[in-house]
């Protein structure tokens, strides 16, 4: 074989190897980009779900039909929660009504003060010995719902914490409890809030991130998430 032919064959082999290398490099790049895309998509869709929840059973006892909803309590000195309570308490009542788990009996602070000497109670306090009997006698309720707003920060990044306990009137046992803090600076919480707002917003599409700047809308999202863990009827 002549020197020219050998040189031509060598060039062909080099070109073939180079083309094969380029092809494999392109395939590898596509595979890596696919992995990154899937990872990125997963991180965007990951959403916060309440987990600090207790249920005595998957379903509410059949005898739990009427529930006394006590006024929302706050921690002493929490001025942000105190200022926002009048706006947030009706949101709680609305979200409870949407669940349709039981008939709601809203207890006014004045009523509770008349019966117990205090306008609100948290489940962590030392309760009056006859509290449940008084409520049952006056309201005919089968259970009592304690609600506490803590912590609460109305400025960006928003932070809303809820502590709930549903206690049976006769047994005085906890049927359901939840204690969760939603911090809008956490990406999973922000994702869940935006997804919630997308499902709730009517009319033209709105910026879903606006829910992270509205204390009322963000609180509505937190309540929907926590109350969604109530046992089924």
Do the Cβ atoms of 67 and 142 come closer than 8 Å?
Answer: yes
Residues 6 or more apart whose Cβ sits within 8 Å of residue 90: none
* 75-111 pLDDT tens trace: 888 899 999 999 999 999 999 999 999 999 999 999 9
pLDDT at 45: 57
Comparing 17 with 48, the larger pLDDT belongs to: 48
The CA distance from 206 to 45, in Å, is 19
- First CA to last CA across the chain, in angstroms? 90
The CA distance from 55 to 175, in Å, is 6
pLDDT at 109: 96
- List 163's β-bridge partners, or say none: 148, 179
Question: Does domain 55-227 bear CATH number 1.10.1740?
Answer: no
* 118-145 pLDDT tens trace: 999 999 999 999 999 999 999 999 999 9
Residues 6 or more apart whose Cβ sits within 8 Å of residue 45: 191
58-70: average pLDDT: 97
In this prediction the pTM is 0.78
The CA distance from 35 to 42, in Å, is 11
């Amino acid at each position: 074989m002549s020197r020219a032919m050998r040189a031509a064959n060598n060039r062909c082999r080099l070109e073939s190897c180079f083309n094969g290398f380029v092809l494999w490099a392109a395939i590898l790049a596509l595979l890596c980009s696919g992995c990154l895309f899937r990872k990125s998509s997963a991180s965007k869709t990951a959403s916060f779900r309440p987990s600090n929840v207790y249920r005595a059973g998957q379903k509410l006892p059949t005898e739990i039909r009427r529930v006394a909803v006590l006024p929302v309590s706050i921690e002493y000195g929490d001025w942000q929660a105190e200022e926002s309570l009048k706006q947030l308490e009706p949101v709680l009542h609305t979200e409870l009504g949407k669940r349709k788990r039981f008939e709601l009996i809203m207890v006014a602070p004045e009523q509770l003060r008349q019966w117990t000497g205090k306008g609100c109670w948290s489940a962590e306090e030392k309760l009056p010995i006859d509290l449940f009997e008084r409520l049952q006698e006056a309201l005919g309720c089968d259970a009592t719902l304690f609600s506490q707003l803590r912590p609460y920060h109305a400025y960006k990044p928003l932070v809303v914490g809820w502590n709930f306990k549903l206690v049976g009137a006769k047994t005085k046992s906890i049927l359901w409890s939840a204690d969760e803090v939603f911090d809008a600076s956490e990406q999973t919480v922000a994702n869940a809030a935006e997804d919630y707002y997308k499902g709730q917003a009517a009319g033209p599409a709105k910026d879903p991130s606006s829910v992270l700047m509205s204390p009322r809308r963000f609180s509505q999202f937190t309540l929907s998430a926590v109350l969604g863990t109530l046992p089924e009827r």
